[in-house]
Structure 1
Amino acid sequence: MKTIWIVFQKEWVDHIRDRRAVLSAVGSSLFTPIFMVAMVFLMGKTILSLSEDKPEPLHVFGQEYAPALMQYLEANNIEIIPAHEFLVEDVRQGKVKMGLIITEEYAQAFREGRPAPLELVMDTSRQMNLLLMSKVTQLIQRYSTQVVMMRLMARGVDPSIMIPLVPNIHDVATPQSSALIFMSILPFFVAIMVFSAGAGVIVDTLVGERERSTLEPLLINPVRRSSLLIGKILTSFVFAMLIVGLSLFVFWLGFQLVPIEESMGLSMTLSGVSLLWIFLLCIPEGMLAAVMQAFVASFARNYKEAQTFLAILPFIIGIPSAVLGFIPNPTDLIQVAIPGFGQSVLANRILRGEPVTPLEVGVLLFTTLFSALFFLWLSIRSFSRERILSGK
């Protein structure tokens, strides 16, 4: 242990002296939470502005053929704007959000009681216009339903036969869980940080020392290579945890300073205790990240190759966390037991205010530490070979 501590102190001092590397790591740790807070704020402002009860513009060509429909749309906060015959091209070019084309055939079919044709012109690839598209489509469907009911009543038929089901929606989502959709990417960012923050330390202390020809004099000392490697891994682990902790603190601070609730129009709080629990879950994950990085770097032939390999590793681990929102109810103990993914599952639950059982934490801790010990064994074996000096 004394040897490991001495190696750790030496590597820590050497890395801290590299101001560019430290500033780069700190800068990235600040950029990620600031970017996320800004993204949540801007998305909230945009959605809130779109959901405000104000008239939405709808460009209509041939509005004179459907005066009743136009009155119905205007009564529901739709501003009717006359359009010319090139309406389709205007929507395609983004000059117009949405268009409605009504022909003379509509008026004749409506008078005769036949299905009256309408042409809705929209570009569903423009996400900012999806709310208007959905609103206009629903209004036209509601108008169509009302016309059907009036025609049935005129013929002495009870219109309620057209409504066999009346679903009552009971939404059990809390304001916190509803707002979580804006923070669902947080576990992915945390996983990326855990597996990337300490990569620079590993590359420099293993591959960098080999290229600087300082690794061989270090290895000829009467010290076990495993102690040297563990000391280097410990340096990477501590540095990564400091960066992750700083990032989570800045993220929490951003939610305290930026008026997130005002921008979103609903209650959205971020507890410092929740982020502390997420940080504690990251500690065993950080151990696994450090030993995996050491194992990968031990096979790299040069500095650039090591950087390339270790740049891919965070995304391999983080991709399952990115798709967490698309997995229905990931509560299976087997899913929680997967290192990396399990941390994201529990972090997601903590953010939602849902319970996390000691069994789940214990199983995840066991599998993560077991995986870390396995990769540590592989790393020590690789570091003990002579190829570590040549990289070949």
Structure 2
Amino acid sequence: MKGIREIFGKEMARIFRDKKMVFSVFVLPVVIMLVIFSVVGMMAERKQKDIEAHKSRIYTLHAPTDFQQQMEASGFLAEYTQIESEKEFEAAKKKIKEGEIDLIVRFSDGFEEQTKAYKEGEPLPWVNTYENPSEEYSAKTSSFVKTMLESYRQTLLVERVEDLRQLTVFEVNTDNSQMYIQDKAKATGKMAGTMLPYFVTVFLFAGAMGIGTDMIAGEKERGTMYSLLVTPIQRSSIVLGKVFSLMTISGISAIVYVTALAVAANTIFKDKLSGANFHLDIQAGQIAMLGVLLLFMSFLYSTIIALISVFAKTVKEAGTYIMPAYMLVLIIGLISMFSTGKPQESLWFVPFYNNAMAIQGIMSQEITLFQYGITVAETLALGVILTGVIVKAFESEKVMSK
């Protein structure tokens, strides 16, 4: 134990005495994260305002006069152009594709007369709208026009049937105050849990990767590892001291990043993320479960980084080896963001993926003790196994002399 404490203290002192390293590990990532989210939020807000301020360009073919007047009287910011021929219609479709106009509304020829003189069994008059779904302006304009068409349909029905209730039969969702039954805190936690596995993976690896490669591969590159190996300290103690110090740094950095993200979500980005309903309310039990899981995840990721660094001669080489592992774990975190429904029980035995699912389950308050226990136990077991492999590698002169 004494040797472990000596190595642990040495590594922690080396890191925290280096102001540049403290800044790069704990402060700079938070600043970068907040700047990125601020810029993304500002750009999204600016984009939304630009869409709202855009004057839509709408072409109509065979449009009834009363519908044209109804649209113009709606107050919707738009410029209306009436086209008269098939040639103009084909030219308008090209303009839609090129983004020059936003929408074409085509009525069947003789639409107004057909609706007024309609008899049972005759072909129904029709309306087609043409939009470009890849253009936000076009999608916004289409949504408005479809609403106006439904309103126009109701107007024509009133002319044909005095009491629309005879055709309605029943109404749906009339009591808006009771339509949504949910636990807002749980819903918010579920939303946060969707994003958190990805960010936690980034934070844990980012917090440990640079320091971890320097702790082992860096010392081998500088030649200080050899002098350390000939000291009376057991090599297993050297390994554990380095792994525990790396785990501590990784865990602290993850807690700092997640805390900063949670504070930012409830303050700076609250309205941008989910309006006034967004409030991340985490209970003490959730914090404890998340803390233990993060601790063991830090341990596992630290052992992965340390193991890879053992077989590298330089920091640069170690970084090259670590990157595929980093990408693999990152992809697993991304996959969990798009999962739906409750995961199959067998998936809780899949390493790394069960960590992402556990974070989601903790945040949404939907994880069972069995699922949590399996995840924590497996994560710890893998970390212990990898630590044993690292100890074996340290005891190999062939590996350490590289």
Aligned-partner Cα distance in 2 for 1:212–1:57? 65
Q: Indicate conservation of the 8 Å contact 2:349/2:374, yes or no.
A: yes
1:359 aligns with 2:374: no
Q: Alpha-carbon deviation of 1:45?
A: 4.8
**Which residue of 2 is the match for residue 292 of structure 1?**
304
**Which residue of 1 is the match for residue 181 of structure 2?**
172
1:335 aligns with 2:333: no
**1:119-130 alignment to 2 at 5 Å?**
120-126=129-135, 130=139
Aligned-partner Cα distance in 2 for 1:71–1:177? 47
> Alpha carbons of 1:115 and 1:207: their partners in 2 closer, same or farther (altered >3 Å)?
farther
**Which among 324, 329, 336 is matched to residue 336 of structure 2?**
324
1:279 aligns with 2:297: no
Q: Indicate conservation of the 8 Å contact 2:185/2:281, yes or no.
A: no
SS at match of 2:340: coil
1:239 aligns with 2:249: yes
How many aligned positions are there? 383
**Which residue of 2 is the match for residue 254 of structure 1?**
264
**1:1-392 alignment to 2 at 5 Å?**
1-31=1-31, 33-35=33-35, 38=38, 41-42=41-42, 45=45, 57-62=55-60, 65-73=63-71, 78-83=76-81, 87-94=92-99, 96=101, 98-102=102-106, 105=109, 107=111, 110=114, 114-116=123-125, 118=127, 120-126=129-135, 130-137=139-146, 139-140=148-149, 142=150, 146=154, 159=167, 170-176=179-185, 183=192, 184-258=194-268, 260-261=270-271, 264-271=274-281, 273=283, 276-277=287-288, 278-352=290-364, 354-391=365-402
Q: Indicate conservation of the 8 Å contact 1:62/1:101, yes or no.
A: yes
SS at match of 1:270: coil
Q: Alpha-carbon deviation of 1:245?
A: 1.3
Q: Alpha-carbon deviation of 1:217?
A: 1.8
Aligned-partner Cα distance in 1 for 2:113–2:43? 43
The one-character-per-residue Cα deviations of 1:51-77 (angstroms, maximum 9, x if unpaired) are: 9xx898542223663334334545766
Q: Alpha-carbon deviation of 1:15?
A: 2.7
Q: Indicate conservation of the 8 Å contact 1:288/1:372, yes or no.
A: yes
Aligned-partner Cα distance in 1 for 2:293–2:357? 11
> Alpha carbons of 1:387 and 1:171: their partners in 2 closer, same or farther (altered >3 Å)?
farther
SS at match of 1:382: helix
SS at match of 1:102: strand
SS at match of 2:206: coil
Q: Indicate conservation of the 8 Å contact 1:335/1:341, yes or no.
A: yes
Aligned-partner Cα distance in 1 for 2:157–2:71? 18
Task: Read off the aligned partner of 1:370 and give its amino acid letter.
Answer: A
The one-character-per-residue Cα deviations of 1:236-284 (angstroms, maximum 9, x if unpaired) are: 1111111111112222332454272488433111236578343332111
Q: Indicate conservation of the 8 Å contact 1:73/1:139, yes or no.
A: yes
> Alpha carbons of 1:330 and 1:377: their partners in 2 closer, same or farther (altered >3 Å)?
farther
Q: Alpha-carbon deviation of 1:369?
A: 0.6
Task: Read off the aligned partner of 1:221 and give its amino acid letter.
Answer: T
Query: Greater CA deviation, 201-210 or 307-316?
Result: 307-316
Task: Read off the aligned partner of 1:217 and give its amino acid letter.
Answer: S
Aligned-partner Cα distance in 2 for 1:311–1:346? 24
> Alpha carbons of 1:255 and 1:80: their partners in 2 closer, same or farther (altered >3 Å)?
closer
Aligned-partner Cα distance in 2 for 1:138–1:180? 34
The one-character-per-residue Cα deviations of 1:178-235 (angstroms, maximum 9, x if unpaired) are: 5568643232111221123111122111111111111122212233222111111111
Task: Read off the aligned partner of 1:214 and give its amino acid letter.
Answer: T
SS at match of 2:134: coil
Task: Read off the aligned partner of 2:23 and give its amino acid letter.
Answer: L
CA-based RMSD of the aligned residues comes to 4.0
> Alpha carbons of 1:299 and 1:362: their partners in 2 closer, same or farther (altered >3 Å)?
same
> Alpha carbons of 1:80 and 1:364: their partners in 2 closer, same or farther (altered >3 Å)?
same
List runs of 5+ in structure 1 lacking aligned partners: none
Aligned-partner Cα distance in 1 for 2:93–2:190? 34
Aligned-partner Cα distance in 2 for 1:307–1:115? 68
Q: Alpha-carbon deviation of 1:41?
A: 5.0
Q: Indicate conservation of the 8 Å contact 1:207/1:302, yes or no.
A: yes
Task: Read off the aligned partner of 2:369 and give its amino acid letter.
Answer: P
> Taking every aligned residue pair, what percent have the same amino acid on both sides?
17
TM-score by length of 2: 0.77
Aligned-partner Cα distance in 2 for 1:74–1:179? 41
> Alpha carbons of 1:89 and 1:100: their partners in 2 closer, same or farther (altered >3 Å)?
same
Q: Indicate conservation of the 8 Å contact 1:7/1:232, yes or no.
A: yes
Q: Alpha-carbon deviation of 1:10?
A: 1.3
Aligned-partner Cα distance in 1 for 2:370–2:113? 66
SS at match of 1:185: helix
Q: Indicate conservation of the 8 Å contact 1:336/1:364, yes or no.
A: yes
> Alpha carbons of 1:16 and 1:346: their partners in 2 closer, same or farther (altered >3 Å)?
same
